[in-house]
Amino acid sequence: MKRNILHCLVERGAHIKVFPAKTTYDELKVFQPDGYFISNGPGDPAPMDYAIHTVQQILADDRPLFGICLGHQLLALANGISTFKMHHGHRGLNHPVKNLITGKSEITTQNHGFGVDPESVKSNAQIEITHVNLNDHSIEGIRVKNKKAFSVQYHPEATPGPHDSRYLFDQFIDLMKS
């Protein structure tokens, strides 16, 4: 997990605790959090059954959830949406992403080699695409309809824009307050 993600949450008043990836949902609930953040991480998300199951349990309890990068892919997998290894991953900064809700574009930083399958998303009525990459039209953000759960593929804690995407942390805090 990138340290600046923690800073972005703390500067918004969040009291946080970081857990290892294989922590069970029952162990997480002992902390009594107002919401769950699923962080970035390495590798192929598909074999991470333990994490997919945890995300499914969070969703079943209807708890606020925000995922970044690997967390984005895990939210997709938890909803039956497949992921794939990209031919060329997205690396570095200055990747333009369009927020389909606001119509605004953001300059983002990215570091991933896996993506969310567009056809799987289109066939899932419970998922809404919220962000797309303007270079290759890959999916950069989703939200679960009728749940307090959303994710982005890129890194809003990074500063290429310089703060084009920091509003996502505000949205997460607002979900936990509502």
**Domain map (residue ranges) of the chain:** 3-177
Note whether 160 and 107 are within 8 A (CB). yes
Tell me the pLDDT tens digit for each residue of 12-26.
999 999 999 999 999
CA distance 13 to 155: 20
pLDDT at residue 160 in the model: 66
Q: What is the CA radius of gyration of the chain?
A: 15
Q: How far is CA 68 from the centre of its chain?
A: 3
- Residues catalogued as catalytic: 69, 155, 157
Residue with the two structure tokens 């997919």? 52
CATH class of 3-177: alpha beta
Query: Which residues are CB-neighbours of 112 under 8 A, at least 6 positions away?
Result: 69, 70, 73, 86, 89, 90, 153
CA distance 40 to 37: 10
Average pLDDT over residues 130-150: 97
- pLDDT confidence tier of residue 129, bands split at 50, 70 and 90: very high
CA distance 115 to 69: 9
Average pLDDT over residues 31-38: 97
How high does pLDDT run on average in the chain?
A: 94
Question: In a 3-state reduction of DSSP, which class is residue 75?
Answer: helix
Tokens of 74: 């895990």
Question: In a 3-state reduction of DSSP, which class is residue 87?
Answer: strand
